[in-house]
Structure 1
Amino acid sequence: MIDARLRAIALYESLKGFAVKLAMNWLSIGATLGLLVATQNATAQSFPPACQQYVTTIKICGADLVRLAELKQPAQADEVRANYKTAVTRINSALEKAIEEQGATAVAQRCATAPGNEVLRKQVADIVTVLGFGGGISDQCSTAYSAIR
Structure 2
Amino acid sequence: MYRDAKRQPTSAEEIHALLRLAERDLQQAEVPGLYPDGRFSFAYNAALQLATATLRLYQIRVGASSHHVRTFEELRRVLPDEKREFALEFERARRKRHMLTYEQAGGVSESEAQNLILRVHEYQAWLFEYINSNFPRYLKETELT
Structure showing greater relative contact order (alpha-carbon pairs closer than 8 Å, 6 or more residues apart):
1
Name which one, 1 or 2, has greater alpha-carbon Rg: 1
TM-score, reference length from structure 2: 0.37
- Structure with the larger helix share: 1
By percentage of residues, which structure has more strand? 2
User: What TM-score, normalized to structure 1?
Assistant: 0.36
